[in-house]
């Protein structure tokens, strides 16, 4: 018997379903922001005399910033998350012929668990640059949510020792999905170009650029005996993008005396190190913070004062204890699903948390009557990282790394607790209103 599920969890599943790529995640977020009265800012235009209000901006389709500007901004409350997830991305002119099949050349993006992409029904999504009827180059999103292609696993009769030795997949040789049989395939433009053009109602020659990636078409769902689980792709890190976005949208009107700017930033390219023109290592966030203050007539000194008084939550999913591999976890810190938000700590600064910021987050949880958990990696295993240390190092803003617990991180289909999204969202919303110094 399933227990009733929180509307925030149901909404998260819909957000994930609509967001097979970073571009779609940003588009889904932007739609919600526009509906809530947020106005689009243009980075190429002047922001002088920006009036108090709600604003957002997008960069390169995969990164989004949104904030509420009060009358007298003095500091920022920032939540950072990332829009990208490990997956398979199409190479240029992807389709090729081999052994009577049409296959797709792919690159592995980020640290994907390769085996998780086998024997799944895969759709295709991304952005397409086209020349419109007036001759301009415009970018359009495409989301083909039907079983287009598949990575068939080798039969056990042809690999008898796979269960004993483990599955070893070569990224170049073994990860090319099959799209069609060669027989009957017409000559002419690449079938992927033809497909995208048809989806968008265009001619193939109008398609000039492609950024396409594969996704498992099985819809995100609630699972488990009592509805305690989420089975979904891209929980890392759309779950935290959704929590940050929902927390901002829940704020409503700021009181007239408000002095903190609640701001969320959803970055692309975290899974490949954040080093791009719109990743967390780019000048995007420092520039936005400075421009917000300059727009109100403040100078550089006020900007540095505001940065010193600011706080950041880096929200990225955390590892719950795996019952079949409990030895991979630090024995005294094993977060559980539906056990509440996890504070992530690493003395090598793979996470940016310190005692002060951890205490602040624990305090916020206590005020919301939400339990809090702690995660540290085993000392003898190399720890993953997040955007937290990167933005902290670029900006000098004190940061805490947190996330909800999950399993199967970086699988094509991940797993988390169905009761964790709502408490995290409440805590993040309280943080965005937190006006006291730390
Ligand atoms: Zn992540």
* Cα 258 to averaged position of ligand 1 atoms, centre (Å): 32
In a domain, 142, yes or no: yes
Q: Ligand 1 mean position to 271 CA, how many Å? A: 7
Based on the domain organization, do 81 and 97 belong to the same domain? no
C-alpha of residue 411 to centroid of ligand 1, in Å: 12
Are 356 and 252 found together in one domain? yes
Average pLDDT along the chain = 95
| Together in a domain, 291 and 273 | yes
Cα separations (Å) of 418 from 4, 220, 332? 10, 12, 24
Distance from the CA of 16 to the center of ligand 1, in angstroms? Answer: 14
Q: What is the CATH number of the domain that holds 307?
A: 3.40.630.10
Residues 314 and 264 in one domain: yes
Q: What is the pLDDT of residues 308-338, one digit of tens each?
A: 999 999 999 999 999 999 999 999 999 999 9
**270 alpha carbon – ligand 1 mean position (Å):** 7
pLDDT, residue 195, reads 95
pLDDT classification of 1: cutoffs 50, 70, 90: very low
* Residue 371 and residue 257 share a domain: yes
Distance of CA 34 from the midpoint of ligand 1 (Å) = 26
- DSSP-derived secondary structure letter, 37: T
The verdict on 177 and 239 lying in the same domain is no
Sign of the CA dihedral with 328 first, then 329, 331, and 337 last: negative
Residues 298 and 425 in one domain: yes
Q: 199 and 329 share a domain? A: no
112 inside domain: yes
Please give the pLDDT value at position 232.
98
Question: How far is residue 210's CA from residue 122's CA, in Å, rounded to a whole number?
Answer: 18
Confidence at residue 3, expressed as pLDDT on a 0 to 100 scale: 59
The position carrying tokens 């709600």 is 54
* pLDDT at 363 exceeding the cut of 80: yes
Report the number of distinct structural domains present in the chain.
2
- Considering 165, 191, 216, which residue would you say is the last residue of a domain? 216
Residue 369, Ramachandran bin (φ over 0: left; ψ between -120 and 50: alpha; else beta): left
The domain that contains 121 carries what CATH number?
A: 2.30.250.10
End position of a domain, from candidates 216, 251, 281: 216
Q: How far is the CA of 170 from the centre of ligand 1 (A)?
A: 24
Question: What letter does residue 389 receive in the DSSP assignment?
Answer: H
pLDDT in tens, 27-66: 999 999 999 999 999 999 999 989 999 999 999 899 999 9
Mean pLDDT throughout 352-373? 96
Least-confidence region, from 18-22, 136-140, 216-220, 382-386: 382-386
Distance 62 CA to ligand 1 centre (A): 15
In a domain, 327, yes or no: yes
Together in a domain, 283 and 417: yes
Q: What percent of the chain clears pLDDT 70, i.e. is strictly above it? A: 99
Kindly state whether residues 297 and 413 are assigned to the same domain. yes
Q: Distance from the CA of 316 to the center of ligand 1, in angstroms? A: 5
In terms of DSSP bridges, do strands 221-223 and 373-375 run parallel, antiparallel, or are they unpaired? unpaired
Annotate 317-382 with DSSP letters as a single string: -EEPPPGGGGGGS-TT----TTS--EEE--TTSSS---HHHHHHHHHHHHHTT---EEE---TTS-
Burial track 410-422 (b if 16+ CB lie within 10 A, e otherwise) = bbbbbbbbbbbbb
User: Does residue 202 sit in the same domain as residue 237?
Assistant: no
Element containing residue 210 per DSSP (H, E): strand 207-216
pTM exceeds 0.95 for this model = yes
Q: Is there a single domain that holds both residue 71 and residue 97?
A: no
Note whether residue 211 is domain-resident.
yes
Binning the chain into helix, strand and coil, the percentages to the nearest 5 are 30, 30, 45
Tens of pLDDT, residues 223-260: 999 999 999 999 999 999 999 999 999 998 888 889 99
Question: Which domain does 147 fall in, by range?
Answer: 87-216
Per DSSP, 312 falls in state: E
pLDDT digit string, tens, across residues 156-169: 999 999 999 999 99
Query: 10 Å Cβ neighbour count for 266?
Result: 30
Is a pLDDT exceeding 90 seen at residue 397? yes
Sheet architecture: strand order including 260-267 = 39-40, 53-59, 63-69, 260-267, 75-82, 311-315, 398-403, 342-344, 373-375
Ligand 1: distance of its center to the CA of 353 in Å? 16
Cβ atoms within 10 Å of 295's Cβ, excluding its own = 18
* CA gap 191, 97 in Å, rounded: 11
DSSP one-letter string for 92-155: EEEEEEETTEEEEEEEEESS--GGGGTT--EEEEEEEEEE-TTS-EEEEEEEEEEEEEB-PPPP
Q: At residue 2, does pLDDT exceed 60?
A: no
Q: How far is the CA of 328 from the centre of ligand 1 (A)?
A: 19
Tell me, in angstroms, the distance from the centre of ligand 1 to residue 386's CA.
6
The Cα 287–Cα 264 span in angstroms is 14
Q: Which of 17, 408, 417 is nearest to 229 (CA)?
A: 417
Ligand 1 center–CA 252 separation, angstroms: 28
């Amino acid at each position: 018997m399933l227990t009733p599920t929180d509307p925030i969890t149901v909404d998260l599943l819909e957000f994930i379903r609509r967001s097979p790529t970073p571009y779609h995640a940003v588009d889904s977020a932007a739609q919600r922001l526009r509906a809530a009265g947020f106005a689009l800012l243009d980075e190429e235009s002047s922001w002088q005399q920006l009036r108090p209000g709600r604003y957002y901006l997008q960069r390169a389709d995969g990164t989004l910033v949104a904030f509420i500007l009060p009358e007298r901004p003095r500091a920022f409350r920032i939540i950072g998350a990332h829009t990208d997830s490990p997956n398979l991305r199409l190479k240029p002119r992807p389709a090729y012929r081999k052994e009577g099949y049409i296959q797709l050349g792919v690159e592995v993006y980020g640290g994907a668990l390769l085996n998780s992409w086998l024997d799944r029904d895969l759709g295709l999504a991304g952005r397409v640059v086209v020349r419109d009827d007036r001759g301009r180059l415009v970018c359009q999103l495409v989301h083909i949510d039907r079983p287009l292609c598949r990575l068939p696993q080798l039969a056990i009769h042809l690999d008898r020792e796979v269960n004993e030795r483990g599955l070893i997949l070569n990224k170049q040789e073994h990860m090319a999905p099959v799209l069609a049989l060669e027989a009957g395939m017409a000559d002419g433009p690449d079938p992927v170009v033809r497909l995208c053009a048809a989806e968008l109602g265009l001619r193939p020659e109008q398609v000039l650029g492609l950024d396409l990636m594969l996704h498992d078409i099985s819809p995100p769902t609630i699972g488990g005996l009592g509805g305690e689980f989420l089975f979904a792709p891209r929980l890392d890190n759309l779950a935290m993008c959704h929590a940050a976005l929902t927390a901002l949208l829940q704020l409503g009107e700021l009181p007239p005396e408000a002095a903190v700017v609640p701001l969320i930033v959803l970055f692309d390219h975290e899974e490949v190190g954040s080093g791009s023109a719109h990743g967390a290592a780019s000048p995007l966030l420092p520039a936005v913070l400075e421009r917000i203050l300059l727009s109100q007539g403040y100078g550089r000194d006020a900007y540095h004062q505001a940065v010193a008084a600011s706080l950041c939550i880096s929200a990225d999913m955390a590892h719950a204890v795996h019952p079949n591999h409990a030895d991979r976890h630090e024995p005294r810190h094993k977060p559980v699903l539906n056990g509440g938000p996890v504070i992530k700590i690493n003395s090598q600064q793979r996470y940016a948390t310190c005692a002060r910021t951890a205490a602040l987050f624990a305090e916020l949880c206590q005020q919301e009557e939400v339990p809090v958990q702690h995660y540290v990696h085993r000392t003898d295993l190399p720890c993953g990282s997040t955007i937290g240390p990167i933005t902290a190092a670029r900006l000098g803003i004190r940061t805490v790394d947190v996330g909800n617990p999950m399993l199967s991180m970086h699988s094509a289909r991940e797993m988390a607790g169905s009761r964790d999204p709502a408490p995290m969202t409440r805590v993040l919303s309280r943080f965005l209103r937190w006006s006291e110094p730390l």
